[in-house]
Structure 1
Amino acid sequence: MKERTLILIKPDAISKKLTGVILDRLLHLDLEMKGAKVREMTEELAREHYSNLAGKPFLPSVISFMRGDLNGITDHRVYAFVFEGEDAISKVRAALGATDPAKADPWTIRGAFGCFKDGVMQNCVHASGCKEDAEREISLWFNPGEVL
């Protein structure tokens, strides 16, 4: 089934200069890049993106990590992409590996580049978990007309 997914390259991966490696792996999945932008991860955007975690005790750490603050990154950049194609969500999630880098196969993006630091999971890339999440997340990160 042809579908779209949102991919976010997080500040830790950007600061480690992993963007090119991550994109190279994603571009080999036989999907089309339909949107790309650099966006500031504000606290409000982080809270809206992770609204499913509202009330969880670890949400402040997630927000601190997503903004880069946890790693001393001050410009709060996140690279956002929309990829489209047959089974895009499952293809991207397979390439990323398990959310927990310690459980991700070593040849996946999270397995190769993710880690735990100060008790916080740092998995370098976000991808939509299902079609409904993808639609909500894409509309949150991209304005109408910014995705082809």
Structure 2
Amino acid sequence: MQPDPRINLSNQLADTLSNRSVSPDDKREITITFRASYAEKARLEQRCSGVVQSDYIRTRLFDYPLPHPKLVIPEVNRQAIYELKKIGNNLNQQTRAINEAVKIGSQPLTSEVKSYLRTIEELTALLSQTRQSLTQPTGEVQRNDYKSQS
């Protein structure tokens, strides 16, 4: 008669919990499932905010360091970032074309051209700054939430 795999799994889990000898680098081959109430599930999701649930549970169970929350960028921000990148690429192409024209002598470097190049540089910097602000994580609040829940 073959031993019940649930008993083996239960014994492995008990050994692991008593030894706390599992390292985060071990290959994870076993799936563990358990039942929870709706309230428990909601509480778990709230605490995991931005972190994979299994990572959060392992952190709490085995005293691993808490992983950093995933950077979640809203869809509207992703679309804005995409458009900003396209605009930035166009500005870079214009800058290169003007600089090349000045270099080969087909375009004189007038004060108007210098002013235009400065405007393009300012726009490029502004685009970069805007893109950066759209990708900033709101993780500082989340990380503090984790600390208070530990």
Greater Rg by CA: 2
Higher normalized contact order (CA 8 Å, seq sep 6+, divided by chain length)? 1
Task: Give the structure with the larger strand fraction.
Answer: 1
TM-score, normalization by structure 1: 0.19
Q: Give the alignment's TM-score, normalised by structure 2.
A: 0.19
